[in-house]
Structure 1
Amino acid sequence: MGQSGVDGNRVDPRERGRDRRADVVCLGESLAVFVPDGHQARRYLLTVGGAESNVACHLARAGLPVRWVGAVGADDLGEAVLAHLRSFGVDVTDVRIDPERPTGLYVKEPHADGSRMRYYRRGSAASALGPDLLAALDLSATRLVHLTGITAALSPSCHALSRAALAPRSGGHLVSFDVNWRPVLWRDQDARVLTELANAADVVFVGEDEAEALWGTGDPERVRELLPAPTTLVVKQGARGATLVEGDALVFQPALAVDVVEPVGAGDAFAAGFLAATLAGAEPTRRLRAGHLLAAATLCSHEDVAEPLPADLVADLLAADETTWAAARVTREGVTGR
């Protein structure tokens, strides 16, 4: 399957890197990830993950100039993270290499009800990031800055970085914020901070289950009452779909039926698809469908950043009527029911 944008247009890899401007800047921690080798018991393969860098990889593959900004250690795992991001066409020029702190990592452990994650990120290179990172960035050509609630939970200085990124902005760029509620990270901290951060963003993503845990409701209209400031609110409702709340509009778009292989990374894929379509000026239903399409491809893979669906298929489904959309089912072998 080839590389494709949300509008179905192919991206020529030779065009990447020619324009040093970054339409999108993604701030956060990228980690080395050890995943089980499906062919041998108790053997693990090294890959790379991290919410913000996953979004960066998806957007770069869709043809957008993207920078990932964070920190890695001066170690082999840090080199692996940077090589992975470069392979997708992500600009890593502004990444800090920490000579003392290690690259963060997590391990996917197989379990009967799906993978379990064990994180080793305390004292990582990214946990030392702070507001000074923003002062060193040129955001003059940037259209969107993306971050998540994970970064704010890593350390007090990362919390300050998140606040700085969401502070009143004079540059004209949008800021998107994925709540990404991680109870373990917030165990000894006040998670109400996430409400303040989300309400300072222009575009907010939150899962229905996350909203229920944080605010006692996953209902999009009630969540909107709690977050009145963002221009765009998207409540992800799992396999049922997602609801966009924007101005007076409340738009629900069902998700595609999917034969799920691994759920990890699907939320990042949804955010990337939605954001790419937003930057392209798409209307609400098309933005939601773009998110669902990229999420569906990731759900059918063990990878955090899976190959997108074929470009011609993406174009057809973005423009499909409701009956055709509802009949489609995404599997590892392709799409059936159209």
Structure 2
Amino acid sequence: MTGGLFTFGETMGLVAADGIGPLAYAGSFTFGIGGAESNVAVGVARLGGHATWLGRVGPDATGELIRSRLGHAGVHVIALPDSSFTGLMVRHRRSGEFAHVDYHRSGSAGSRLNPSDLPAASLREAGVLHVTGITPALSETCRAAVFQAVETARAAGVPVSVDVNYRAKLWSRFDAAPVLRDLVARADIVFASPEEAELFVDPGDLLGGLTKLGPTEVILKDGGRGCVARIGGERHTVPALPVTVIDPVGAGDAFVAGYLADRLAGEPPAQRLHTAIAAGAFAVTVPGDCEGAPDRVELAALTGGDIRR
């Protein structure tokens, strides 16, 4: 899909306990899929953009579900077959305030992604290459694939988007910081929470520190406080929308999708950020990683207070 979003990474099966409380007392579970990069691809597609996701999947029902769900969402799927299993995560809401996730992904199909899997022509034709800080943590070959993709895109003049997305269960702050700093230094667009940015820049000036590394579009996602950004030298502050939070998981990916969808559509920075905030707000009102990604009509209803009859 020429001119659209190109992204890649590991998408896993998701076993989610229904309700809130200890896992031992969960009475029922929902099975779905989840992955930061594919969540963004779904979000962009739902907002009318072209999105391609690439990843390795195993010879199992979970791998087939990933192909099916992403394709049904309008994403162009490049699911590379692998002899290993498709990764799995198990999530439960221990309380209304936080979720707990266990990963079963060591040696998975997704972790075996390597530079030779990446189609150079597709990277050169993309409107934006989007990568995250999760993939470099999965394996040495995954890390090499991310940096090769970034360099291929940069050489072709394709904007590179990076969501820092630090995962403490995958690697330590000590191991992650230099890799994430190097990745951000090669990006045009960077998304991070304040806590993630503090891994490798001065906490006293997060926007300035990230900008000095090289990106021209720096966006700090700050949950219920909204976002602050510096884009083309101009500072923007956008408050969060007041909504009832059902499930906070996936809000950050929806935010990124909203911003990138509008960027691909040629919208100005302020509009991109407002769409990002609205998409993130919409996502927390429904359960699941990417199931709540809104379309344009739903976003308009959320921001305009419209009632669909």
What is the TM-score with the length of structure 1 in the denominator?
0.82
Match of 1:152 in 2: 136
- CA distance in structure 2 between the partners assigned to 1:225 and 1:141 by the alignment: 26
Match of 1:28 in 2: 9
- CA distance in structure 2 between the partners assigned to 1:236 and 1:47 by the alignment: 26
The one-letter code of the counterpart of 2:109 is A
The one-letter code of the counterpart of 1:175 is V
Q: CA RMSD in A?
A: 2.5
Match of 1:138 in 2: 122
After superposition, give the CA deviation of every residue in 1:3-29 in whole Å (9 maximum; x if it has no partner). xxxxxxxxxxxxxxxxx5461111111
Provide the identity percentage. 38
After superposition, give the CA deviation of every residue in 1:82-113 in whole Å (9 maximum; x if it has no partner). 11101101111x321102x1101101122023
Residue pair 2:136, 2:142 contacting (<8 A) in 1 also: yes
Residue pair 2:40, 2:254 contacting (<8 A) in 1 also: yes
Distance 1:245 1:87, change over 3 A: same
Map 1:200-219 → 2, pairs under 5 A:
200-215=186-201, 217=203, 219=205
- CA distance in structure 2 between the partners assigned to 1:191 and 1:224 by the alignment: 13
Q: How many residues align?
A: 300
Unaligned runs of 5+ in 1: 1-19, 321-327
Distance 1:225 1:26, change over 3 A: closer
- Identify which of 251, 256, 259 aligns with 1:271: 256
The alpha-carbon deviation at position 203 of structure 1 amounts to 0.7
The alpha-carbon deviation at position 47 of structure 1 amounts to 0.5
1:109 is the counterpart of 2:92: yes
Which of the pair is proportionally richer in helix? Answer: 2
After superposition, give the CA deviation of every residue in 1:192-217 in whole Å (9 maximum; x if it has no partner). 11000011011110111222344451
Distance 1:22 1:34, change over 3 A: farther
Residue pair 1:143, 1:172 contacting (<8 A) in 2 also: no
Match of 1:15 in 2: none
1:64 is the counterpart of 2:49: yes
Match of 2:238 in 1: 253
Residue pair 1:144, 1:174 contacting (<8 A) in 2 also: yes
Aligned to 1:189, what secondary structure does the other structure show? Answer: helix
What is the TM-score with the length of structure 2 in the denominator?
0.89
The alpha-carbon deviation at position 225 of structure 1 amounts to 5.0
1:193 is the counterpart of 2:179: yes
Residue pair 1:211, 1:218 contacting (<8 A) in 2 also: no
